[in-house]
Amino acid sequence: MYAGTNKGGTEAIVAAERLVLERRGQIDSGLTVDSVLAGFPLTIDRIMGEGGLWAPELAAAAFIQANGDISEAVHLIRAHRSTLPRLAFSDPMRPREVELLRRVVSTQRQPDGPIILGETVDYTARILHDGDDLPLPIVEALDDEPLQHPADEPFRRFRDYLADKGVLVSRELEEDEEPFDIQMVAAQLPAHRSAVLSASAQADTGALINIWYQSVIGPEGYAAENVTLGEVRHGRIPLRVLDPHTGEPVDVGRIRVSECEAVTHLGGERGEDPTTYDVGYAMALGHNERKVIAAASLDVAIVRYSGTAVGKRLEQVMMHTTDGLAASGLLEHLQPPQYVTSQSGLHAAMAARAEQEAELVRLLAGDRPGDAAVATPHDAAAPDRTTAHDSAECDCEFHDHGGQDR
- The yes-or-no verdict on residue 284 having pLDDT over 80 is yes
For 248-281, how does the pLDDT look when each residue is reduced to its tens digit (9 = 90+)?
A: 999 999 999 999 999 988 876 667 888 899 999 9
Residue 176, pLDDT score: 74
pLDDT of 179 higher than 50: yes
With cut-offs at 50, 70 and 90, classify the pLDDT of residue 224. low
Q: What percent of the chain has pLDDT over 90?
A: 37
Ranked by mean pLDDT, the top range of 198-202, 311-315, 335-339 is 198-202
Q: What is the pLDDT of residues 132-172, one digit of tens each?
A: 666 666 666 556 666 566 677 678 899 999 999 999 988 87
Per-residue pLDDT reduced to its tens digit, 100-142: 999 999 888 888 888 888 888 887 777 777 766 666 666 665 5
**pTM of the model as a whole:** 0.78
* Low-confidence winner among 15-24, 106-115, 288-297 (lowest mean pLDDT): 15-24
What share of the chain has pLDDT > 70, as a percent? 80
Give the 3-state DSSP-derived string for the chain, with helices as H, strands as E and coil as C: CCHHHCCCHHHHHHHHHHHHHHHHHHHHHHCCHHHHHHHCHHHHHHHHHHHCCCCHHHHHHHHHHCCCCHHHHHHHHHHHHCCCCCCCCECCCCHHHCEEEEEECCCCCCCCCCCECCCCCCCCCCCCCCCCCCCCCCCCEECCEECCCCCCCCCCCHHHHHHHHCCECCCCCCCCCCCCCCCCCCCCCCCCHHHHHHHHHHCCHHHHHHHHHHHHHCCCCCCCCCCEEEEEEEEEEEEEEECCCCCCEEEEEEEEEEEEEEEEECCCHHHCCCCCEEEEEEEEECCCHHHHHHHHHHHHHHHHCCCCHHHHHHHHHHHHHCCHHHHHHHHHCCCCCCHHHHHHHHHHHHHHHHHHHHHHHHHHCCCCCCCCCCCCHHHHHCCCCCCHHHHHHHHCCCCCECCECC
Q: What per-residue confidence (pLDDT) applies to 137?
A: 61
In this structure, of 223-227, 273-277, 361-365, the range with the lowest mean pLDDT score is: 223-227
pLDDT of residue 406: 37
pLDDT digits (tens, 9 = 90+) for 73-99: 999 999 999 999 988 888 889 999 999
